[in-house]
Homo-oligomer: A and B are copies of this chain.
Amino acid sequence: MNKALATRDRLLTEARRLLWSRGYSNVPLREIAQGAGVDVALIARYFGSKLGLFEATLENAFAVPDLPDEDTLIETVLRMFVEAPRDGNTPSVLQLIQTNANDPDVGDIVRRAQAEAMQDKLEALLGSPARAALFMSVLLGFGVGEKTLKLKGIASPGSPAFEAQLRHLMTSALSYKGP
């Protein structure tokens, strides 16, 4: 019975790696199974369906630590961006959103999960939905620009310039005092 949990975990890890980075519709189950070293049929046994597998990868995906103030928010996000490419194995939550939020199969699920887990916390910390939305927007755009569009004007992750650019965008977003 322990063996089963181990392979279930291998499937889950591989699924998170592939589905989050390339998008739900772009990854066949057979590839996930092969990456985990087992047969496809086991996915049906352990997760019921492809959707079940995807939902399992979302467990605690959007969990955000409680942050005391805006400065530590910025520093935390900075570390997320800088450390994420280091280990390289687990795609970031931003990638998950970018590759799956407009997918016809799972878009709603991703949006809802993100909204429930992150928006309230951000709004509480930043004081207004508008500031929270602009902050999220800036993060999304920077992620898309770097990972997806590969804009050559964005410095390479980890460099001081990269940190300066990201920090500038975040502080700019937080400087919004709108209606």
Binding site for B on A (CB under 8 A): 22-23, 25-26, 97-99, 101-104, 107, 111, 114-115, 119, 123, 128-134, 136-142, 144-146, 148-155, 161, 164-165, 168-169, 172-173, 175-176, 178-179
Given contacts A128-B153, A168-B178, contact A26 B141 (CB under 8 A): no
Judging by beta carbons under 8 Å apart, are A178 and B164 in contact?
yes
Main secondary structure on chain A at its contact with chain B? helix
25 contacts between A and B (CB under 8 A): A22-B102, A25-B26, A98-B102, A98-B144, A101-B149, A102-B148, A114-B149, A123-B153, A129-B153, A130-B155, A130-B165, A132-B151, A132-B153, A133-B154, A134-B165, A134-B169, A136-B149, A136-B151, A137-B141, A137-B169, A138-B169, A161-B178, A164-B178, A168-B172, A168-B178
For A129, give the chain B residue with the smallest CB separation: B153
Number of copies: 2
Judging by beta carbons under 8 Å apart, are B101 and A144 in contact?
yes
With A99-B102, A129-B152, A164-B178 already in contact, 16 other A-B pairs whose C-beta atoms are closer than 8 Å:
A22-B102, A25-B25, A26-B103, A107-B148, A115-B152, A119-B152, A130-B155, A132-B151, A132-B153, A133-B165, A134-B169, A136-B145, A137-B141, A140-B140, A168-B175, A168-B178
Judging by beta carbons under 8 Å apart, are A101 and B140 in contact?
no
For A139, give the chain B residue with the smallest CB separation: B141
Residues of chain B within 8 A of A101, CB atoms compared:
144, 148-149
Residues of chain B within 8 A of A153, CB atoms compared:
119, 123, 128-134, 136
Residues of chain B within 8 A of A132, CB atoms compared:
151, 153
